[in-house]
Structure 1
Amino acid sequence: MHPDTVLITGCSSGIGRATARAFLDEDWTVYATARNPADIETLGDAGAKIATLDVTDDDDVERVVSRIVDEDGGVTALVNNAGYGQLGAVEDVPVEQVHRQFDVNVYGPHRLTRAVLPHMRDAGEGTVVNLSSLAGRVSYPGSGVYCGSKFAVEAMTDAMRAEVEEYGVHAVLVEPGPVETGFAERAAAEVEAGGDVPGVERSGAYPKLYEILEDMTAMGDDGPGAVPPEAVAEEIVNVASMTKPPARVPVGPVAAYGQYARFLPDGLRDKLYGLARKFL
């Protein structure tokens, strides 16, 4: 087995692309994947092995993992990065969109993890890095479905960490706050346009909430506390290289301090959200 082989999902932009380059800089064998291979051609030019991978497709997952096993003997590190954020009031998000959110953000990492864990166990080593978020620790209005998917990833990773420890395998959560990737801008554009097909179905009950969401471009990726994707990539490479990585790695000041909001009494946290709604 190649001692330094990493499989990364969602490499077309942002954190995934930066992570692929960071691993290449450390001389890992990098399998960079995306739904559209044209989006990652430059990573191939830089030395990565590229592959088409839709994390919601079982056949894609099996094909890519089998290729890595055939070519390199196994996967040293899996980085489950692919994901997106479904915004909207919980009432306004159709059930099919909730299914789609969980299929990408929760079932996708689960598919990949199930595919690589047998090889990691056989090798007696390996690290699964799941990209979570501050949203995996603290839920907030307008992002209930997205936060729910990240809460699920956190819970599954916590359980898996204890399950695989005896095999020399690690499970780590990387939890960025806002990252300069255009995530908030894309999400806000979807809300403003009615969402991704079939999108949110606005009930008309939450106009102030949508005003805030539509202004996320001003408050999000380029706001105070946002970090470049390279900062997240650096932490991912670090934990994948450790013999005893931590369970969680918050990235950026917003994630580091914002997570403590979960310790506030529910009533106080709700009042703070109410104040934010009035002032924003």
Structure 2
Amino acid sequence: MSKKVILITGASSGMGKESAKTLIEQGHTVYTVARRIEQMQDLSTLGGFPIQMDITKENDIQNVVDTIIKKEGKIDVLWNNAGYGLFGSVEDTPIEEARQQFEVNVFGLATLTQKVVPYMRKANAGTIINTSSMGGKMYTPMGAWYHATKHAVEGFSDCLRLELKEFNINVVVLEPGIIVTEFGDVLLENINKFSSKGAYASLTKKLVIATKKMYDSGQGSKTLVISKTIAKIVKARKPKTRYRVGLLAKPMVWMRINLGDRLFDKIVMSQV
């Protein structure tokens, strides 16, 4: 198997970190970036190359790309994995918070992609993996801004795939289901912050209880399912355009596509 130069964003925890460990073990040259560099020191010990980067700062992004190109001369795989979930009612969530959600989940991803593509194009090779979610194909109450960003990543990736086809660059969308990571903690923190009082207090309470119950009972797939999938994509000469993996990802998206809006609404609300 040929060894590749890989750049992973959002690698300080969860899916990004576990997959980085797997790829390092397989002998790839793995650069990991996140705001919390102190949480990537173990990756450095294993043989990875952590760099501090804020996905919303263009200077940080430029510095990372320049550093890798100077040292390695190429980037074979870019995994745009950084992101978080902003949850709360549309009415209660401040627009500046919504804007920040787009800055991280969409515009940060797009900026890094713009800076990496020219090198892949010159090499006439490369793979870009964009982390969406089963939430990029469906929806839940109180998740308007999060789902909006993931729907955007889906559309962005499809257009990018067509544009880069002639340059032999693969564009892959990763659509995880429920994975056991810090995601649930951030989700609960945001809901409680914005919508725990007022008109949506009752719905918020139900959603918090349902989410806590799911995470506390250990439901959700282990990050191993993601690291195995990423390793498979990295190895593939012609990877699939989408990988839907993890708890509920396939059935929920199937229901969304096949059952129609009103029935799907009922199914979603029956879980809250």
- Length, aligned pairs only: 269
Aligned to 1:87: 87
- Look up the match of 1:177: 177
In 1, Cα distance between equivalents of 2:216 and 2:186: 10
Question: Does 1:78 pair with 2:82?
Answer: no
1:80-115 deviation digits (Å, cap 9, x = unpaired) = 111100001122111101100000000111011001
Which residue is equivalent to 1:46?
A: 46
Taking the aligned partners of 1:6 and 1:27, their CA distance within structure 2 comes to 11
Could you list the per-position Cα deviations for residues 11-64 of structure 1 after superposition, in whole angstroms to 9, with x for gaps in the alignment? 111011111101101110000111122111111111001101111010011000
TM-score by length of 1: 0.91
Q: Is the 8 A contact 2:19 2:230 kept in 1?
A: yes
Identity over aligned pairs, percent? 34
Q: Which amino acid aligns with 1:38?
A: E
Change (3 A) 1:114 1:155: same
Alignment partners' CA distance in 2, 1:256 and 1:223? 19
Which of 188, 205, 212 aligns to 2:206? It is 212
Structure 1 range deviating more: 229-238 or 165-174: 229-238
Mark the runs of 5 or more structure 1 residues left unpaired by the alignment: 195-199
C-alpha separation in 2, matches of 1:24 and 1:92? 43
Query: How far did 1:125 drift?
Result: 0.5
User: For 2:91, what is the secondary structure of its paired residue?
Assistant: helix
Q: 1:265 aligns with which of 252, 260, 265?
A: 260
Tell me whether 114-123 or 35-44 shows the greater mean CA deviation: 35-44
TM-score relative to the length of structure 2:
0.94
Letter matched to residue 125 of structure 1: A
After superposing on structure 2, the runs of 4+ consecutive aligned residues of structure 1 that deviate more than 4 Å are none
RMSD: 1.7
SS in 2 for 1:256: helix
Letter of the aligned partner of 2:263 in structure 1? L
- 1:146 matched to which residue of 2? 146
Q: CA deviation at 1:274?
A: 4.1
Cα deviations by residue, 1:125-155 (Å, 9 ceiling, x for unpaired): 0000011111001011111110110000000
Residues 27 and 222 of structure 1, relative CA distance in 2, 3 Å threshold = farther
Q: In 2, are the aligned partners of 1:86 and 1:143 still within 8 Å (CA)?
A: yes
